[in-house]
Every structure is written in C-alpha cells, then in structure tokens.
Structure 1
Amino acid sequence: MDSTIATIALPVALGIIMLGLGLSLTVADFTRLLRLPGTVALILGCQIVLLPLFCFGMVLLFEPAPELAVGMMLLAASPGGTTASLYSYLFRGNVALNISLTALNSLTAMITLPIITNLAIGYFMGDGTTLGLQFDKVLQVFAVILVPVAVGMTVRARAEAFARRMEQPVKIASVLVLLGVIIAAILQELDNIGDYIVAVGAMVLIFNVVSLALGYWVPRIIGTGRPEAIASCMEIGLHNTTLSLAIALSPALLGNTQIAVPSAVYGVLMFFTAAVAGVLVSRRAARDEVRAAQPD
C-alpha cells in the first residue's frame, strides 16, 4: 500500500469525518443518552460483545489466511461510523441517538478495539507474546478522532448558524474523501482484488447482514420503538471502516495490506446492504401503519 495513503490520506479522511460529527454534536446529545439507558446498553452490548463473538466463530468456520482473520476481527471491533447517521435520517430513524452512540462508541472502542485486535493477532498470527497493536499507538489514532470532534463541537457552540451551514458540505467531503481512499487502495491492489473478494467476500457479506439484522431486531424484541431500532440497525451495521483501514495500513500501527482487505471490501459493500435494509424496514413500517389505520 502506498505510504501516502496510509500516513496522510486516511488520517485526513478520518479527521474530516470526525469534524463533521463534531459540527452536529452538542452536550445535550450526550445527556440525551441518560434517558435511554436500556437501549444504549443493549446496543453497546451487541456492538462490543455479540458481533466480535459471532465474527470469531465465522472466522473459525471459514478458516481464511491469518492476516485476513485478524482483519475480520479488527473490523468487528471497530465502532459505528458516521455514515450511520445519514442512513438513519434517510429511513426515519432516531438520528440524535445515532450521533450520540457514534461518539460513545468511538470512546468505548479506545479500550475494546486494542484488546480484541491484540487477542486476534496473538491467536491467529503468533504465540500471543508479541502483539503489533499497542495501546499507546491506538491512542494516537483516536487523537485524530477526538481533536476534530472537539473542534467541531466548539464551533457549534460558538457559531451555531455557521456550523449548521457547514454540516452538509463536510459530510459530502468526508464521503468523497473516503471513497477516494478506498478506490485508490483497490486500484493499487487490482491484481489481487479478485482473490481478496473470493477470500473474504462471503464472510464480509454475512457479517454485514447479521450486523444489520441484530441491530434492528434485538431492540425490537424487547419493545424498543421503531426509530430507535432503525438507529441501532445502522449504528451496528455500518462500522467505521476509515478507522479500521487507518489502523491496518498505518506503518506506525499494523502496516499490513492483507489485514486491511476485509475493511476495504466492507467499506464498499455496506452502502448497498444498508440501503436494502432501510428499504425493507420502511416497507414493514408502512404495512404496520396501514394495519393500525384499519378498523377492527
């Protein structure tokens, strides 16, 4: 992988995305979580516990190359991405919950992501005594997350009208930069892309579909409202692939192109699967509204 992409383009993309998140955040977004403790705990439990466990079992079943296995676990350990808020908005989810969860997930992942990834590296690639992803290095990556968020929140607090005007342009810029990074990475690995898709395509698709399904149905089963379930669906189903790519490709962290492959494939695939999930949920909501309107 070109070192320019790994050391410059990915941190820039991540910084722009997190700046956009900060522009849309207020302190009230965090205090709002206190009114939904059960929903928040359930979503975090799915994100932190259920998905890594499911991914680990799937990796054992498919038996990919060790680097790809670590890449899958890194992806599973990554927090929800800011794209979740966009899809939640499009399909009538609780966007405020998405914004708050993305921020909380990003903070929680500072602890959980290194633990899960280190365990995966030790299990699949070594004897567990020499691990390539250290906490101090991960803190450097999360500084790229927290500083832009803090800047964005400060701008929002002091110049709300300006922040609101900039939200959409920054979101568009972040998507374009992320797509550019993914396309550049794919082009550089064009000779191997077919093999990569064969190696991880099925795993990535299954993982993505299960993530979206768990995100929606687990909250619904316990009676959570549909807007909150849609927010959960997108939050759990759309991982922060910019972060996982940055960790996998950065020479200061893992510096391994193969580990980045699952995140690169997922980063393209999730836009389509999330759209399908949103359409299905919207149709179900429309049918339920029609039934509710019919007289008994």
Structure 2
Amino acid sequence: MTANLLSTVFLPLALGIIMFGLGLSLTLADFARVVKFPKPVLIGLVCQIMLLPLACFFIAKGFQLEAALAVGLMLLAASPGGTTANLYSHLAHGDVALNITLTAVNSVIAILTMPLIVNLSLMYFMAGDQAIPLQFAKVVQVFAIVLGPVAIGMWVRSRFAEFAERMQKPVKIVSALFLALIILLAVAKDWETFVEYAPVVGLAALCFNLLSLGVGYFVPRLLNLSQRQAVAIGMEIGIHNGTLAIALALSPMLLNNPTMAIPAAIYSIIMFFTAAVFGWWVNRVHGAELAAEA
C-alpha cells in the first residue's frame, strides 16, 4: 500500500469509523442539554476554544519548536475532545453526560475554529501563503470529515437503538486499533523529523497535556462547578481528538504536512497515562465528595 493510498483512503476511512462510533453514542438530547445546563458547558467551551490555544501558543514559543511542529501543536489545541474522554471521565466518577455534550457541541464548533486557529498559526509561524484558505470548499471538507460520520451514527442510533448499543463496544475497539495505526502512520511518514525532535516535542506535548488537564479541572472549580463537572471538563480538555489532528495534517487536500502530525501523535500516547494519573489523584483527594455528588 503506497503512502498516497494510506493518506487518501485509509486515513479518512479510519477517522470516519472513529467519528461514526462517536455518533452511535450521541442523541439530540445531548445538544439540547446545553439549554438546561448552560454554565458548565459554556465554561468548558471557553477553556477549550480560547484558553487552550492561547496557552499552547506560549508553549510552542517557549520550547522554540520548528515552525511545522508549532503549527501541529496548535492544530492539536484546536481539536475537540476525544471520545475516550467519556470513558476516562466515567472511571474517574466525572459527569459523563457533560462530557458527551461538550464533545457533541465542540465537534460542531470545531468546523469553524480549527481552520481559523490553524490559519493564524500558519501566518505567524510559517509563510502566510501556506495557510489554508477559509474558503467554502475547505469548510465543507472539514464538515464532511468531522460531522458526516457523526450524523450517520446518530441516525443509526435513532432508528436502530438496540443495534447501536451492541455496536458501540466493537466500534470502540476498532477505533482504538485505528488510532494506534494512525499514530504509527504519522511517525513513519516523517521518521527522521520524529527522531530529531521527539525529546523537545515530547516535553512540549507533556506540558500542554498537563496544562490542559489543570485548566480543565481548576478553572471550573474556581467558578464553583461541582467536583464531577470539573473532572468531566478536565478529561474533555485533556484528551484531545489526536486522530482528527493527524488526519488534517496528513490529508493531501488540506495541510499535507507529515511533520505537523508529529505533536498529535506523541500527545495521543502521553494523554492516556496522564489522564489515568489525574483520575487516580482526584479520586484519592476528593473521592468522598465525588461519591456524594453521584
């Protein structure tokens, strides 16, 4: 299988299956929940859409990342939360319903915010003519990549609820395997750059990950949200959709830059360990409070 075939066929297919799996877990009520509980959703979205890209920018500058790697880290910061956040939030006794709502809403908003943040990053870190034009055709492509499979998954759940329930676990397993393959693909496509920059990019990714978890947990607590809501937002913000970032970086139709995929590939490995430690810590320190709120 050629590298071009991997990028044009396998990668969109893998991402489509992952986003389809997300759709199987969503209903229209998950979007409607924003009206009923606007404060935690709004706080989570502000942290995700505004605070994280700003913090990521200073991390990229502080570590003096090579231009393409800096843009790749910003692309990751612009990505919505990953579906694995729901599982980690459940294990850490977070508010899973809030996770699902944030994932649903942020996936829609990301259609506009991702091209905007990436364009600004490209203009700052690289030559401006390398930016993705905010043309209607590009927005449609991102829409198809992000929301098309999600909408199909939601339609399947609405029409065939029992089938959707049975398929959620197999699709999650397949999604995890695809994620591993996508990470390997991203690393293999630019192995020399990965070897050269892995230590500094790894440290930058770790700092961004820890900052994401910290912002996601402590900002909601400072604004008087419950422990369960803070845990949910921490997981949602700390576990980014690295698959989406890698897919956009490698896609010949969009960024077509394997180097930009490296930060997301490294982050996607780191985040599972740090999220597990975060879940253990918050339950060790606030276990009684989480149990009382459940």
Structure 1 and Structure 2 fold alike (TM over 0.5) = yes
Aligned partner letter, 2:66: A
Note the C-alpha offset of 1:203: 0.7
Cα offset, 1:98, TM superposition: 1.1
Q: Which amino acid aligns with 2:279?
A: G
CA contact (8 A) 2:228 2:290 kept: no
The aligned counterpart of 2:270 is: 269
- Separation of aligned partners in 1, 2:80 and 2:183: 18
Aligned partners of 2:287, 2:231: CA distance in 1, in Å? 14
> By how many angstroms is 1:130 displaced?
5.1
1:124 maps to 2:125:
yes
Who is 2:15 aligned against? 14
Classify the secondary structure of the residue corresponding to 1:39. Answer: helix
Instruction: Report what 2:115 is aligned to.
Output: 114
**What residue number does 2:169 align with?**
168
C-alpha separation in 2, matches of 1:15 and 1:179: 15
Question: What CA distance in whole angstroms lies between the structure 2 residues aligned with 1:133 and 1:265?
Answer: 27
Q: How much has 1:219 moved relative to structure 2?
A: 0.8
**How far, CA to CA, are the matches of 2:186 and 2:120 in structure 1?**
26
TM normalised by structure 2 equals: 0.92
Q: Distance in 1 between matches of 2:107 and 2:133?
A: 17
Shift of 1:189: 4.0
Cα deviation code 1:141-199 (max 9, x no counterpart) = 33122221111111111121111111111111111111112123334544443322123
Cα contact 1:196–1:261 (8 A) shared by 2 = no
Counterpart of 1:245 in structure 2 is 246
**Counterpart residue type for residue 143 of structure 1:** A
* Counterpart residue number, 1:183: 184
Written as runs of structure 1 = structure 2, the 5 A alignment for 1:1-296 is 2-126=3-127, 128=128, 131-132=131-132, 134-135=134-135, 136-286=137-287, 288=289
Is contact 1:9–1:181 with CA below 8 Å preserved after alignment? no
- How far, CA to CA, are the matches of 1:241 and 1:150 in structure 2? 20
Spell out, residue by residue over 1:49-75, the C-alpha distance to the aligned partner (whole angstroms, 9 max, x if none): 111111111222221111111111111
Would the aligned equivalents of 1:85 and 1:99 in 2 still touch at CA under 8 Å?
yes
CA distances 1:210-264 after superposition (whole Å, capped 9, x unpaired): 0011111111122211221111011111111111111111111111111111111
Task: Indicate conservation of the 8 Å contact 2:78/2:113, yes or no.
Answer: yes
Report how many residues are paired. Answer: 290
Identity %: 51
Equivalent residue of 2:237, what SS?
helix
Q: CA deviation at 1:209?
A: 0.4
Aligned in 2, Cα 1:133/1:280: closer, same or farther, shift over 3 Å? farther
Deviation above 6 Å: which 4+ runs of structure 1? none
Unaligned runs of 5+ residues in structure 2 are none
User: Mean Cα displacement is larger for which, 184-193 or 249-258?
Assistant: 184-193
